[in-house]
Structure 1
Amino acid sequence: MTDYQHLTITYTHQERVAVVTLRRPEVRNAFNTQTMQELVNAFQVLGANMHLHAVVLTGEGTVFCAGADVNMMQQSVSYTKEQNLEEALYLSDLMHTINTLPCPLIGRVNGAALGGGVGLIAVCDIVIAVESARFALSEVKLGIAPAAISPYVIRKIGETHARALFMTGERFGAERARQIGLVHTIVPVDELDEMLEKTIQELLTSAPEAARVCKALAMSIGTMSHEEARSFTATTIATLRTSAEGQEGLRAFLEKRKPNWVKTSPNT
């Protein structure tokens, strides 16, 4: 197991769920170059783990992620354009690595998410936030832009909301985040883990391979032409129906029993 300094990875639910926690509460879980490197490594490792049904991404303490570390921003002032380009490309690679995690990714938003923290939320499949959470794409206030995270944020909230929030950099609450599609569920802080567990249990009753296919389907089908979608979707369902998992699921339904991927032993 890799020894991470800025995050931890724990496993629950018979090691079918991994929890990635940003562990820099002294700087509101802001990320620097090392944090980005650790996240890339962690999600590459998790992406190769076919045993996982889900991954949870969260922050330690009362803040989810405050975006870029102040020290990293100070260093960037003296960077050349080439050095800034290298750093920006690395952030883009980080977003891509997390976004393409094959299994479902749940964002456990335990507090504020600013700048790049919003980017991390945008690459989550399911987002649960405390009702006190605050959000902002605040880069414009610093004379820059949320460029590296923009493809993922725009896909999540749409161009109309991105145009407004990118340019104003205004802070907004959990309810607005839910209305624009950045967040799916809002709960009081003392109900966050209860809702997280409910969501995990829903995913654990879904066929794990089919869930991965469903994620890929949702991410790709919107960019296909009619003919591409026709062929892709027909091939997908035919493949799933004849797979071992598909056969088990259909037989379990017809026999009125639970499929073999549904476990009855303790959660942790």
Structure 2
Amino acid sequence: MNHNTLQIERNGQIATVWMNRPELHNAMNEHLIADLTNAFRSLNEDHSVRVIVLAGRGRSFSAGADLDWMRRAAGYSEAQNLEDAHKLATMLKGIYRSKKPVIARIHGAAIAGGTGLTAACDIAIATDAAKFGLSEVRLGLIPATIGPYVVDAIGHRQARRYFLSAERIDAATALHIGLVHEIVAEAQLDERIASIATELCKGGPHAIFAAKELLGDLRQSSPLDDTLLDDTAHAIAAIRVSDEAREGLGAFFDKRPASWVPASTS
């Protein structure tokens, strides 16, 4: 894949998508947004890829929006801004709804849109020096397109504070509020992500995607909802008779790795 703003590396079943605008702290503009959209679409169609890692070259993960892009957008009509915003929303949706699990590799600044990217990924691992923040209101803006993913990650109550205050969020606070799953020393970041990616590769590809869909169904649900409970019964009944489940259960009882598990990780 050829992208102007990205570098994509492959290591077995793991693909790392590097945002590659280090001189601008991987700030987002229309070109990076388009490249990310296309990269995730392509990787989701590639059956040899099991895990996607989203990372940033240089000193930062992503420092938010490119200033030149913002300056140009300020002169756009409302219709042009709507088209621009839809492209950003499509990119974020593509990451969040990826069929493959996505790990965010976070170091340095992950501000505004960078915080949104963090929240859109399934798993977020950050260094202890990472910084986050929802700075939009200080520019007279709102964290609109990233909002659904941030609220999904940290909950409505925490979002009320950080949407309004635009405070910087350090790594320890990000862990506490659920924005990231783990914080590690920078020297350990790649090793930890590789370890998690290896564990993810042990899951059935269809089961991983089905589990992500199940999480979506459970987001606004309750154990008091009989329809939901019936739907979950149908879901497990259907997947039990799938070829993947038959292979997974057979491998478990035979005490061997399932066919989808890489030989080096079994």
Counterpart among 126, 130, 135 of residue 133 in structure 1: 130
Secondary structure of the structure 2 residue equivalent to 1:9 = strand
Counterpart among 213, 218, 221 of residue 218 in structure 2: 221
Conserved in 2, the CA contact under 8 Å of 1:132 and 1:174?
yes
Distance 2:49 2:237 in 1: 24
**Structure 2 match to 1:261:** 260
Distance 1:163 1:52 in 2: 37
Conserved in 2, the CA contact under 8 Å of 1:102 and 1:216?
no
Conserved in 1, the CA contact under 8 Å of 2:198 and 2:265?
no
**Structure 1 match to 2:142:** 145
The more displaced of 217-226 and 57-66 is: 217-226
How many corresponding residue pairs?
264
Secondary structure of the structure 2 residue equivalent to 1:198 = helix
Alignment of 1:35-50 (within 5 A): 35-50=32-47
Superposition deviation, residue 266 in structure 1: 8.1
Query: Once superposed, what is the RMSD of the aligned Cα atoms?
Result: 1.6
**Structure 2 match to 1:243:** 242
Is 1:188 the counterpart of 2:185 in the alignment? yes
**AA at the equivalent of 2:137:** V
1:210-242 alpha-carbon deviations (Å, 9 max, x no partner) = 111111111222235724422331222112211
**Structure 2 match to 1:155:** 152
**Structure 1 match to 2:11:** 12
Superposition deviation, residue 78 in structure 1: 1.5
Alignment of 1:79-158 (within 5 A): 79-158=76-155
Distance 2:184 2:220 in 1: 33
1:67-118 alpha-carbon deviations (Å, 9 max, x no partner) = 1101011112222222222212221121112111111111111221001111
Runs of 4+ in 1 over 6 A off after TM superposition: none
Counterpart among 167, 171, 189 of residue 170 in structure 1: 167
Distance 1:65 1:259 in 2: 37
Tell me, which stretches of 5 or more residues in structure 1 are unaligned? none
Secondary structure of the structure 2 residue equivalent to 1:95 = helix
Counterpart among 58, 75, 78 of residue 78 in structure 1: 75
Superposition deviation, residue 139 in structure 1: 0.7
How many percent of aligned residue pairs carry the same amino acid? 41
**AA at the equivalent of 1:92:** A
Superposition deviation, residue 159 in structure 1: 0.8
For normalisation by structure 1, the TM-score amounts to 0.93
Tell me, which stretches of 5 or more residues in structure 2 are unaligned? none
Conserved in 2, the CA contact under 8 Å of 1:4 and 1:38?
yes
For normalisation by structure 2, the TM-score amounts to 0.94
Conserved in 2, the CA contact under 8 Å of 1:138 and 1:169?
yes
Superposition deviation, residue 59 in structure 1: 0.3
